[in-house]
Amino acid sequence: MQSTAAMSSTPPNPDWIAAGRSHLWRPYCQMLTASPALPMVATRGSRLRLADGRELIDGVASWWTACHGYNHPRIRDAVRAQLDAMPHVMFGGLTHEPAARLAGRLAELLPGDLDRVFFSDSGSVAVEVAMKMAIQFFGNGGERGRDRILAFRGGYHGDTLATMAVCDPEEGMHARFRGVLAEQPIAALPRDGADTDALDALLAREGHRIAAILVEPLVQGAGGMLFHDAAVLQRLRERADRHGCLLIFDEVFTGFGRTGALFACEAARVLPDIVTLSKALTGGTMALAATVATTRVFERFLSDDPGHALMHGPTFMANPLACAAANASLDLFAAEPRLAQAAAVGETMRAGLAPLAEQPGVREVRVRGAIGVLEFERLDDLDAIKARFVEAGVFVRPFGRIVYLTPALTIPSDELQTLLAAVREVCGSIARKPAARSTADQG
């Protein structure tokens, strides 16, 4: 564990804290009533250092991105070297070695012939690109009527206008945009016979209009950390083939070891036509995303007709700094036992969270890979709960009715035990004495 002294020092109340409160617009919170954000000055390993000198063990790895922990020297040194050589160059008409290497490595790591990589800079955009690919795939082939994306309840795929339309319309955070968003078919995941029959009926009615089936494989993340098994994905693959549509796996959350395998599609042994990646792609260091398609999908865009090209191109697409970070992150997966560490984290969380399963108010305790979830009947006053976690020396960010843990795969065992002890203390108290006021929050 990195010592406190090794982190950069700062005055306990720097001027930027007050200045920022006057101008910053924070995500997923009501600015009028939300508690102040925690002022950060340094990170190291699995720890966050606050401006007042306190350190917190991070239980969520900055929205699941920091899979190797913070400030890993291999990633830091790769970014520094790339900064000296070429921090950025446009990808329109130009190319560079970090992107070329990264695309080849991702194609080699992903199963099947997922071998054409389109880079962007966020998970939401990666999913938008996948949706555009799917719709244009059919348009390029002369099928103009396939312009819908089938998605599922409990799903979350991003915050942009197109991706909001394929999130859960009721439980998600985007219900207030109903009427503005494109209407997409939403079904229950085919976990059982009744839901499978309902999906088949929907596809019988609308399959001719559906360009792709979009799903988060094995774990639906920000929609509630909801688990399903490989059989569900096999059913979706079968339906996509039967109805002639594509299958998209959104692995923005599940990719890079979080479910216990490098990719969830690999663990499920189901090959999608398109997969999206982001979050842990760079080890939580830089913004980068990728939409990876099979040869069959890519070849539909090859034509003498310029209109058959994929018309998408983010300004910072394939940013060399981000690609360098991602290559260094893949080096770490190759050189260090990340998947074994993910399994060990999961087993420790399973044992550490088990005592809460019988607590009143706890609906379920579930663990998959390096994801631990406590689902309550209800959670009230999320700001107060988050504050209690901070008092216990950890950073945990509950949402909806769940408290979840997605720590760095490299979290030291003593810090993981401290994190779990704090969760047992705070969540045990929540279960016994639920609060009265509800505060909306996400992620």
CATH of residue 377's domain is: 3.90.1150.10
For the chain, the residue count is: 443
Cβ neighbours of residue 240 under 8 Å, at least 6 residues apart? Answer: 212, 213, 246, 247, 273
Given pLDDT bands bounded at 50, 70 and 90, which one contains residue 431?
confident
Same domain, 239 and 361: no
Given pLDDT bands bounded at 50, 70 and 90, which one contains residue 333?
very high
Same domain, 230 and 329: yes
Same domain, 51 and 93: no
Given pLDDT bands bounded at 50, 70 and 90, which one contains residue 436?
very low
Same domain, 197 and 211: yes
Same domain, 183 and 92: yes
In a domain, 441, yes or no: no
In a domain, 331, yes or no: yes
Please report the pLDDT score of residue 14 as a whole number.
Answer: 83
The answer to whether 156 is a known catalytic residue is yes
Question: Token pair for residue 416?
Answer: 């993981």
Given pLDDT bands bounded at 50, 70 and 90, which one contains residue 245?
very high
In a domain, 2, yes or no: no
Same domain, 287 and 146: yes
Please report the pLDDT score of residue 433 as a whole number.
Answer: 63
Please report the pLDDT score of residue 3 as a whole number.
Answer: 40
Number of domains in the chain: 2
In a domain, 4, yes or no: no
Please report the pLDDT score of residue 9 as a whole number.
Answer: 52
Q: At what angle do helices 193-206 and 230-243 cross, to 10 degrees?
A: 20
Same domain, 287 and 151: yes
3-state secondary structure the chain: CCCHHHCCCCCCCCHHHHHHHCCCCCCCCCCCCCCCCCCEEEEEECEEEECCCCEEEECCHHHHCCCCCECCHHHHHHHHHHHHHCCCCCCCCCCCHHHHHHHHHHHHHCCCCEEEEEEECCHHHHHHHHHHHHHHHHHHCCCCCCCEEEEECCCCCCCCHHHHCCCCCCCCCCHHHCCCCCCCCEECCCCCHHHHHHHHHHHHHHHHHEEEEEECCCEECCCCCEECCHHHHHHHHHHHHHHCCEEEEECCCCCCCCCCCCCHHHHHCCCCCEEEECHHHHCCCCCCEEEEEEHHHHHCCCCCCHHHCCCCCCCCCCCHHHHHHHHHHHHHHHHCCHHHHHHHHHHHHHHHHHHHHHCCCEEEEEEECCEEEEEECCCCCHHHHHHHHHHCCEECCCECCEEEECCCCCCCHHHHHHHHHHHHHHHHHHHHCCCCCCCCCCC
In a domain, 6, yes or no: no
Same domain, 307 and 169: yes
Determine the structural domain holding residue 103 and report its residue range.
73-335
Same domain, 423 and 298: no
Q: pLDDT per residue over 368-400, tens digit each?
A: 999 999 999 999 999 999 999 999 999 999 999
**Which of 70, 156, 168, 404 does the annotation list as catalytic?**
156
Same domain, 425 and 359: yes
Q: Could you give the percent of the chain with pLDDT greater than 90?
A: 88
**Boundary (domain end) residue, out of 315, 335, 355:** 335
**Boundary (domain end) residue, out of 308, 335, 362:** 335
Please report the pLDDT score of residue 10 as a whole number.
Answer: 52
Same domain, 87 and 44: no
In a domain, 224, yes or no: yes
Q: Could you give the percent of the chain with pLDDT greater than 70?
A: 94
The answer to whether 70 is a known catalytic residue is no
Q: pLDDT per residue over 91-140, tens digit each?
A: 999 999 999 999 999 999 999 999 999 999 999 999 999 999 999 999 99
**Which of 58, 121, 168, 250 does the annotation list as catalytic?**
250
Q: pLDDT per residue over 37-88, tens digit each?
A: 999 999 999 999 999 999 999 999 999 999 999 999 999 999 999 999 999 9
In a domain, 5, yes or no: no
**Boundary (domain end) residue, out of 312, 335, 358:** 335
Around Cβ 188, how many Cβ atoms within 10 Å? 15
CATH number of the domain to which 232 belongs: 3.40.640.10
Question: Residue 241: pLDDT above 60?
Answer: yes
Q: pLDDT per residue over 359-371, tens digit each?
A: 999 999 999 999 9
The answer to whether 279 is a known catalytic residue is yes
Same domain, 23 and 158: no
What is the mean pLDDT of the segment spanning 9-15?
Answer: 66
In a domain, 1, yes or no: no
**Which of 70, 279, 386, 404 does the annotation list as catalytic?**
279
Please report the pLDDT score of residue 437 as a whole number.
Answer: 41
